[in-house]
Amino acid sequence: MLKNVSADVTDTGRNESLGLLRSNLTDVRSTTSQASGVRSSCSTCHLRSVCLPRGLEQEHIAQVDHLTRAKRKVRRGAALFRRGDLFESLYAIRSGSFKSTQYGKVTGLHLPAELLGLDAISSQIHDYDAIALEDSEVCIVPYAPLTLLMLQLPDLQTHILEALSSDITRDGGLLLRLGAMSAEQRVVGFLMGLSARYQFLGYAGTRFSVRMRRDDIASYLGITEETTCRILSRLERDGLIETRIKDVEIKDLNRLRNLLGY
Amino acid sequence: MLKNVSADVTDTGRNESLGLLRSNLTDVRSTTSQASGVRSSCSTCHLRSVCLPRGLEQEHIAQVDHLTRAKRKVRRGAALFRRGDLFESLYAIRSGSFKSTQYGKVTGLHLPAELLGLDAISSQIHDYDAIALEDSEVCIVPYAPLTLLMLQLPDLQTHILEALSSDITRDGGLLLRLGAMSAEQRVVGFLMGLSARYQFLGYAGTRFSVRMRRDDIASYLGITEETTCRILSRLERDGLIETRIKDVEIKDLNRLRNLLGY
DNA sequence: CGCTTACTTGAGCCATGTCAATTGAGGTGG
DNA sequence: CCACCTCAATTGACATGGCTCAAGTAAGCG
């Protein structure tokens, strides 16, 4: 249960992972637009292999670079965009993470390299709030120019189509099947989904940081904060995971998988 | 409650609507490929304004036409594709309807003019079964040629991007928020979503045919068949809807909206 | 017209929600 | 560095919506 036992074996390790995943922005001037001080380019970004420039030839990356030159910083708790805002740009998450909320309910969790705003392409109006879960930074991708560039760069078209496609089965389809799952399955599915996504980004899949608070997680999963807590406690008591507020460590992947029933 | 009362006022009207929505295929030769006997073309298809050729110039429609020449009929209960099948084509539903199922659970409902298979673009493998809910017909849209044509026809690219985008918020996002809804809200949301979708297709939104069986609906909504029945009965007893097995008529849209809480 | 499948309804129980209190963590001013 | 304050997380006791099991009724089909 960890509680205030400060000599826990995995403690340092877990803090390490925390450092790894936490946005390393210390420059916290208010949400600025335009190129940030540090000259950043897709070709040097550590996310390039999973983000927009994925699969592009070196020379073509420059064109994407030009497109995404504008950055924007968003402070923890601030909105990147709000429901009702006109859709003009997609946003590629550079660092940090976001939740999307509709009618007071959390409907999505977005990690680095993911594109925010894809669902507004059809309606031209954002239909949810995108709120930063920590100090974050995004690359602004103006949509109209992007579609023009897509016509020139088949590989870019491919990437965008794939990004849209995988957004359909967001979280590996977890949320879609969520309605039919028990509260325990929801929590476990949530943790496994996060694990897989962090792994995809190149981080350890067994130890990661959940940026959302308990009530956000609960809202996201369609259960209550109390139930979420109880289940996390139970999973920990049974030795399947260890938690320390926002940090989670997967201890028994197999038994977790079994709980999901696949 | 209708039961076996044959003199119900709305009876004829409802049957009329049934005829309207039911696939009018009487030619039921086994699932054939290639151009069906009736020479069909996008430019004469009654779905053209909401389907692939949407927004295209007359001359360009011919190119889409060429792409989608192959049709395929799928008998009620048969699979258009199955989980694990290699992804090669998208399918535009020409008539009829499909459910998608994963692990024995219903995860989607697809109506005419919708594109099936979009989520497999990223993985190249279908990850659900697509089962016809009635005798249906689809236009086969080979994916690789489609992407090439998209590079030539910006309006086609636009349509595909929008189709993908609106698939993200499938059913107006109903399913996403499903986890947080009561059983009653799920059923009501399901009916309202269907109503809106039929309306989009040009049919009456107040009177339509639910092609799925009760247990499919229940599975789709993450509740039990019994609960689904009870709720439908209650909604009817309270005068919000009238049902006769697969046919539904919305009687009090406002009160239904209120139940959803928006 | 009988058989099979789909739908509907009832009774009791359990998982999860609700309400409420306690503990713990992190930030801030003295 | 400590005492305090606030917000987040956890835990307990009780109420209830939806599930399970089971029976009955209606509809489609050969």
pLDDT digits (tens, 9 = 90+) for A174-191: 666 677 789 999 999 999
Distance (Å) from CA B180 to C1' D25?
Answer: 34
CB atoms A151 and B151 under 8 Å: yes
Give the other-Cβ count within 10 Å of A113's Cβ: 22
Mean pLDDT of A108-121: 94
A4 pLDDT more than 90: no
Give which of A240, A95, A256, A242 is closest to A190, Cα–Cα: A256
H helix or E strand, kind and range, residue A74: strand A71-74
Across the interface, do A221 and B179 touch by the CB < 8 Å criterion? Answer: yes
Taking the Cβ of residue A173 and every Cβ of chain B, the question of whether any pair is shorter than 8 Å is answered with yes
CA distance A176 to A167: 12
> pLDDT tens across A197-241, in order?
999 999 989 999 999 999 999 999 999 999 999 999 999 999 999
Cβ of residue B179 closer than 8 Å to a chain A Cβ: yes
A222 touches strand C (CB under 7 A): yes
Whether CB of B226 is under 7 Å from strand D: the answer is yes
Kindly state the helix (H) or strand (E) to which residue B116 belongs, with its residue range.
Answer: strand B115-116
Decide if A149 touches B, using CB distance below 8 A.
no
Q: pLDDT per residue over B19-48, tens digit each?
A: 333 333 333 333 444 444 455 789 999 999
pTM score? 0.82
**pLDDT tens per residue, range B159-191:** 999 999 988 876 656 666 777 889 999 999 999
pLDDT in tens, A47-80: 999 999 998 999 999 999 999 999 999 999 999 9
Residue A245 CB in 7 A reach of strand D: yes
The string of DSSP codes covering B159-226 is HHHHHHHHHHTGGGGHHHHGGGS-HHHHHHHHHHHHHHHHHHTTS-SSEEE--S-HHHHHHHHTS-HH
Q: What pLDDT is stored for residue A40 in this prediction?
A: 75
Judged by CB atoms closer than 8 Å, whether chains meet at A170 and B167 is answered as: no
Protein B179 CA to nucleic acid C8 C1', in Å? Answer: 26
Question: Would you call A161 and B163 a contact, using CB atoms and an 8 Å cutoff?
Answer: no
